[in-house]
Amino acid sequence: MNAIPEGSTVYMDVTHGFRSLPIVTLLALAYLRSVRGVKLAGVLYGAFEAGQAITPVFDLTPFVSLLDWASAAERFIDTGDARKMTRLLAGQPNLEAVAAPLAQLSGALAFQRPVEASRAARALRKQIKKVPLAKLPMEQGQFALALEHIEQRFEGIAHGQDAHHSDPVRVLKGQYRQIQFYVRGGQYAQAVELMYEWLISVRFWGLEESHIWTRTARQKTPPLSRITGKPEWSSYSSVWTEINQLRNRFAHFNEFERNLDEVLTPHRQLENDIQALISRLPAAVRPLGLELD
């Protein structure tokens, strides 16, 4: 691998490849594409047979796109970043219409817009259902598998915007799943920020306040004094205290420490603390009548 300069354009001929060497070489080139910007321009195979006047050469390059699809699908499913996938979808018959809601969902997740994310997830599921998966040509079959997985992964938050007015419980459950999604992708800051806002929404809902998700209402969040001393709010109050402190640390990038040499919580412990907090959410809101799946 060290013999291939950065940014090189490489053609791979596997005609006389010995045993497993073509596969090993292809994997090495796939790695070099990521770390050295190497461009794999072609994978060729010559079907040579003795006595042939002309040897046919097969271009196997389209099969390399499987590596790109695998990388793009993994990135989106894990983190919600669809930039790689939307680039691959550009110009693809039957699939290009999926790119717009996919990009919208990706942006909504990145910029912490749960209402927009629910709307985009719903639009994406509708668009996926229009794709003739069984009739896709062979070269698009790899995306059919990804589509099915994507639809299942984001089903929980695909409640659309209307539910914010008509079905707040469904919205709360959907945002809880979005918190879990952030954690699975290692996006702990977003998970904590959404958990903070989610707990405020639960307080509105539990106290039977209306217009939970409007700016005017959020400026008048019910004070903690309205739930203090009420047994059904005890677990909620405990979780709220911890998430409030944790959220402030994330929001201010830990800039309010006592001194620059202060030893902060180790990353692994912080990760475990966040996951432990999330695991306590179902028990914290169950006494209020909210059952999380």
- 143: its two tokens: 């995306």
Residues (pLDDT < 50) of the chain are none
Helix/strand/coil for 59:
strand
pLDDT at 262: 72
pLDDT at 256: 59
Q: Is the dihedral of CA 268, 273, 274, 279 positive or negative?
A: positive
Say if CB 179 and CB 194 are below 8 A apart. yes
**Distance between CA atoms of 54 and 45, rounded to whole angstroms?**
14
Domain boundary assignment for the chain = 9-59, 63-156, 164-288
pLDDT at 90: 82
Entry pTM: 0.81
Phi, psi values for residue 166, rounded to 5°: -105, -20
Helix (H) or strand (E) holding 13: strand 9-13
Give 210's DSSP letter: S
pLDDT at 283: 96
| Partners of residue 10 on adjacent β-strands | 40
Give 48's DSSP letter: -
**Distance between CA atoms of 159 and 181, rounded to whole angstroms?**
16
pLDDT at 156: 86
